[in-house]
Amino acid sequence: MAEIISARVIVTCPGRNFVTLRIETRAGVYGLGDATLNGRELAVASYLNDHVIPCLIGRDAHRIEDIWQYLYKGAYWRRGPVTMSAIGAVDMALWDIKGKMAGLPVYQLLGGASREGCMVYGHANGADIEETIEAAIAHVEQGYKAVRLQSGVPGLAATYGVAKAGERYEPADGALPTESLWSTEKYMRSVAPLFEKAREALGWDVHLLHDVHHRLTPIEAGRLGRELEPYRPFWVEDPTPAENQAAFRLIRQHTNVPLAVGEVFNSIWDAKQLIEEQLIDYVRTTIVHAGGITHIRRIAALADLYQVRTGCHGATDLSPVTMAAALHFGLSVPNFGIQELMPHTELTNTVFPHAYSYRHGMMHPGDAPGLGIEIDEELAAKYEYTRAFLPVARLEDGTMFNW
Ligand code: EZ4
Ligand code: CO
């Protein structure tokens, strides 16, 4: 019995908001979990403080599966990003505790390493094609084997995935949502030329990726996929919103470009049809937003039956705690595909010291017991929560659209 005697939520903003759960056991061993839900951070903090932590006290931290089922089935109200992020944070912290008590890194508890490291993809973006290709070349020079390309669209003032001049890309950029205008026609004209020029400049030995960020209809996505086929992208991400999973049948009828979906999913049920009908090639759900290591293993096991591989979300709004957990999972899971890497700032890395590392386009979780992640609480306390929302998008005539 590893009795849970206390748990607390730590909210900090070292440049951006992060929510961390710390669970303590009577033996003095503690575990950390990420509970960050970009733009909705305090909702998860409240869910944990008001509704989850009181139920944890006195329970055995070793009973990870039972606690998962208790929080999932016991709420009566199932699924949803707030609930599943809170459960995800508890689950990560419990795996961290179990690893520390066993004296083993979590990937050993998950079956051990299935590979030498986790291939990651970096983000290359720029105001135009030339700038984006320059950024991609810089990534290749740093050893990246895979690079995501997002370029400014001629005629649009701002585009998803493209940093403001001289800044790092950070979408949660306003105390109220900033608004940008979208034109599918302008965007569609810009993507194939970007990939054509990228192949000319980078050759064929580097994987190239692209995120459509839910902006197309299925038939438009089919056309974009077909236009990109000659440039052999590793994947095209979120081509259309995926609430209607059957919509992806229409995309598949028109293109064989590999598809990646799932960063906004929070349960296996969101991906069930996409996986069973082999409508996607990579599932992007990650540890924090989909109920932790326990639930993502279930998603990956289902995906493995259908030759769908993992491609976990790894933007900067997922804290280093999630990155650590994703790497333990990624190193061990049989059907690993790729891991997204948007490096955190130096300051964030100082608040969250960690055992994981990057080398030659690959990442490794390290061999520290548990998840191999810490939080410097004194430093974290210096950076108070600052409200920040994700942007919204409208069509040029003012109609609300998908961001
Ligand atoms: O917009 O994580 O592939 N990555 C993405 C991200 C998401 C943000 C939202 O919080 O689409 O940049
Ligand atoms: Co995305």
In a domain, 9, yes or no: yes
Task: Reply yes or no on whether the pLDDT at 184 is more than 90.
Answer: yes
Q: Express as a percent the part of the chain with pLDDT over 70.
A: 100
Active site residues: 160, 213
What order of strands is seen across the sheet that includes strand 4-12? 4-12, 18-25, 30-34
- Give the pLDDT confidence of 121-148 residue by residue, as tens digits: 999 999 999 999 999 999 999 999 999 9
CA of 220 from ligand 2 middle (Å) equals 18
In a domain, 358, yes or no: yes
Return the best residue to mutate from 214, 317, 340, 344 for the ligand 1 pocket (most ligand atoms within 8 A of CB).
317
SS (H, E, C) the chain: CCEEEEEEEEEECCCCCEEEEEEEECCCCEEEEECCCCCCHHHHHHHHHHHHHHHHCCCECCCHHHHHHHHHHCCCCCCCHHHHHHHHHHHHHHHHHHHHHHCCEHHHHCCCCCCCCEEEEEEEEECCHHHHHHHHHHHHHCCCCEEEEEECCCCCCCCCCCCCCCCCCCCCCECCCCEEEECHHHHHHHHHHHHHHHHHHHCCCCEEEEECCCCCCHHHHHHHHHHHHHHCCCEEECCCCCCCCCHHHHHHHHCCCCEEECCCCCCHHHHHHHHHCCCCCEECCCCHHHCHHHHHHHHHHHHHHCCCEEEECCCCCCCHHHHHHHHHHHHHCCCEEEEECCCCCHHHHHHCCECCEEECCEEECCCCCECCECCCHHHHCCCCCCCCECCEEEECCCCEECC
Domain termination site, one of 76, 105, 134: 105
Same domain, 142 and 250: yes
Q: What average pLDDT score do residues 267-281 get?
A: 98
In a domain, 400, yes or no: no
Q: Which ligand minimizes its atom distance to the CA of 322?
A: 1
User: Is the CB of 213 inside a 6 Å radius of any atom of ligand 1?
Assistant: yes
Same domain, 219 and 149: yes
Q: Is the pTM of this model over 0.95?
A: yes
For residue 325, which phi and psi values (nearest 5 degrees)? Answer: -65, -40
Amino acid at 268: I
Same domain, 99 and 116: no
- Give the pLDDT confidence of 83-114 residue by residue, as tens digits: 999 999 999 999 999 999 999 999 999 999 99
User: Is the CB of 99 inside a 6 Å radius of any atom of ligand 1?
Assistant: no
Q: How confident is the model at residue 165 (pLDDT cuts 50, 70, 90)?
A: confident
Same domain, 42 and 127: no
What is the model's pLDDT at position 4? 98
What is the model's pLDDT at position 166? 81
Find tokens 């990956």 and name the residue. Answer: 300
- Give the pLDDT confidence of 319-364 residue by residue, as tens digits: 999 999 999 999 999 999 999 999 999 999 999 999 999 999 999 9
Q: How confident is the model at residue 167 (pLDDT cuts 50, 70, 90)?
A: confident
**Residue 236 sits in a domain of what CATH number?**
3.20.20.120
Mean pLDDT of the chain: 97
Same domain, 68 and 146: no
Same domain, 206 and 337: yes
Number of domains within the chain: 2
Q: How confident is the model at residue 153 (pLDDT cuts 50, 70, 90)?
A: very high
257, 237 Cβ separation under 8 angstroms: no
User: Is the CB of 38 inside a 6 Å radius of any atom of ligand 1?
Assistant: yes
User: Is the CB of 328 inside a 6 Å radius of any atom of ligand 1?
Assistant: no
In a domain, 341, yes or no: yes
Same domain, 218 and 310: yes
**Which domain does 324 fall in, by range?**
109-367
Same domain, 27 and 71: yes
Task: Reply yes or no on whether the pLDDT at 164 is more than 90.
Answer: no
